[in-house]
Structure 1
Amino acid sequence: MTWWQAALLGLVQGLAEFLPISSSGHLVLGEYLLGLDTSNANDVTFEVFVHFGTALSILVVYRERIGRILADAFGALTTPSAWAQAIRPGPIERTPGSEIHYQPQPSGGRVPSLRLALFILITMVPTFLGYILFEERLEALFGDPRFVCGALIVTGVLLLLTRLRPDPDGELSPLKSVLIGIAQTCALIPGISRSGSTICTAIYLNVDRKDAADFSFLMLLPVVLGATLLKTLDMLEVGMTTGWLPLLVGTVVAFASGVFAIRAVRVLVQRHSLQYFAYYCFAIGIAGLIWI
């Protein structure tokens, strides 16, 4: 892999990880078009670094909120009753010596960051189970560019259907978190956008658009970190053979483009502009089915 190929794939990873157009699908198509061999250790090494770059972009954009979530989550370890209270709507009671941070919402309500932590944990359950049960089948799909093109068309349909729910104004709940987690599990299929499926599912469930986008990106962080850890173990097992220059270039480009994409999506979701990504997915999917 050359440095310019690494830069191109890093750009694809950083943008497509957060834009609702499927990063895994675009990486499959990008590697196919560049003629890269995806069956060797180089690809595992590169995946580790670009995933680390996208994780950094989430940490930078949401650093204050992530800090509040972690502080409240660790603080609640000494008061288990706080987790039970977090399930119920309304404010969480404060215990002596504890502090629960609240995140203002566009609707005027206040949602405790501890509740967000709980909802993020809930979404991880179906995602973890889906990966464990279907890992081999999912890995096999990464070698089928035509399947990826078909999945991109499905992503386009999901995005277009958000027009049926123009002004959602509800909040997250445990049940909604489970369903959003299932949507994230489906996005393990290359070509199904993770951000697209989770944001769309939240909107279908009447979750405020800004909340839907923020929750989608916050719930991605543990998934990306987990995937990076697993790929790192694979990399240590087979050895690192990719040069440092392509890895550093890919990581920096993935990080910078990821920060841009997160901020762009947060604005576009609130402007009801997801249908434009649907048209893009339709175009790429149909073109791929015709020419690949």
Structure 2
Amino acid sequence: MSLFEAIILGIIQGLTEFLPVSSSGHIEIGSYFLHVQSSDNLLFSIIVHAATALSTIVVFRQTIWEIIRDLFKLQWNESTQFASKIVLSMIPVGVVGVLFEDKIEALFGGNIVFVACMLLITGILLTITYYTKDQDNKVTFTKAIIIGIAQTIAILPGISRSGTTIATALYLGVEKNKATRFSFLMVLPPILGAALLKTLEFAKAPEIASGNISGLTLAAGFIASFIAGLLACQWMIAIVRRGKLIYFAIYCFIIASAVLIAQLF
């Protein structure tokens, strides 16, 4: 992987982790057209996922600090309830991720036709939100588990994690700001958990998993992903507030169609 490729893929990861267009799908498409070797992907994936996790922490640092502070009060307060809902939402994706993620990657990894089809589904999910009435409800425990189940679908490359969770929350009547905050914070533990699992996998055979990627290239990918993630996270909060997800639905349809046409010819 070259320095240029690392920067491009880092930007793709940072932007698409938060924008509802599927980071895994775009990484698959980007890797395919840049001809990035699979041996480079594991270590690089760890680095860019850590970068996007850090950007989430930076954007929501005040909220995260308030939750941690209130947890130490050992009271059943709003922060404790919110944290409990986050944990509850993590259970479905944790189970599916541990049991099936490797099988899914083996079946669909590198299959950009499948990725394009899943991007079409993401576009449909986002389109439906355009016709969903604005409501002012909170995330309940029942809604948290439903949103968590929806998140498991995003294991498929091309299905947007943020798009699916935010769309599901909006379908359930959750207020836009609450839906966005819950969506971004609920994916933080799975992102960190996935990075940890990949790190353990890397530790078993570092000489194989690292390929020929250099430290400078990894640093470039990390910085690109972190900066792009910061911008995309804040941008996405404003986009959901204004109800403009339909534009990303159109984008998904265009990219998916372009990939399918490219594969035909």
Q: Structures share a fold, TM > 0.5?
A: yes
Q: Is the 8 A contact 1:119 1:174 kept in 2?
A: yes
Name the amino acid aligned to 1:258: G
Q: Deviations over 1:225-248 (max 9, x none)?
A: 101101111111121342101100
Of the candidates 47, 50, 53, which is equivalent to residue 51 of structure 2? 53
1:254 maps onto 2:221 in alignment: no
More helix by share: 2
Q: Which structure 1 residue ranges, 4+ long, deviate > 3 Å from structure 2? A: none
Query: Unpaired segments of 5 or more residues in structure 1?
Result: 83-91, 93-111
Instruction: State the identity as a percent.
Output: 43
Q: Distance in 2 between matches of 1:238 and 1:137?
A: 20
Instruction: Give 1:32's aligned residue.
Output: 32
Q: Give yes or no for contact 2:101–2:155 (8 Å, CA) kept in 1.
A: no
* Bigger shift: residues 64-73 or 1-10: 64-73
TM-score norm. by structure 1 comes to 0.86
Matches within 5 A, 1:226-237: 226-237=193-204
Correspondence for 1:156 among 110, 115, 123: 123
Aligned pair count reads: 258
Report the alpha carbon displacement of residue 156 of structure 1 after superposing the two structures with TM: 0.2
Using the TM superposition, give the Cα deviation of residue 134 of structure 1 relative to its aligned residue in structure 2, in angstroms: 1.6
Further displaced range: 223-232 or 138-147 = 138-147
Question: Once the two structures are superposed, what CA deviation does each residue of 1:2-47 show, in whole Å capped at 9, x if it has no partner?
Answer: 1110000000000000000000000000000001122x2x211000
1:133 offset after TM fit, Å?
Answer: 2.7
Question: For 1:287, what is the secondary structure of its paired residue?
Answer: helix
With the length of structure 2 as denominator, give the TM-score of the two structures.
0.95
C-alpha separation in 1, matches of 2:102 and 2:185: 27
Does residue 139 of structure 1 match 2:105? yes
Q: Secondary structure at the match of 2:70?
A: helix
In structure 1, C-alpha distance between the alignment counterparts of 2:214 and 2:230, rounded to whole Å: 25
- Residues 40-119 of structure 1: pairs in structure 2 closer than 5 A: 40=39, 42-76=40-74, 82=76, 92=77, 112-119=78-85
Work out whether 1:128 is the aligned partner of 2:98: no
1:162 CA drift (Å): 0.4
Change (3 A) 1:136 1:48: closer
Aligned residues of 2:9 and 2:30 also touching (Cα < 8 A): yes
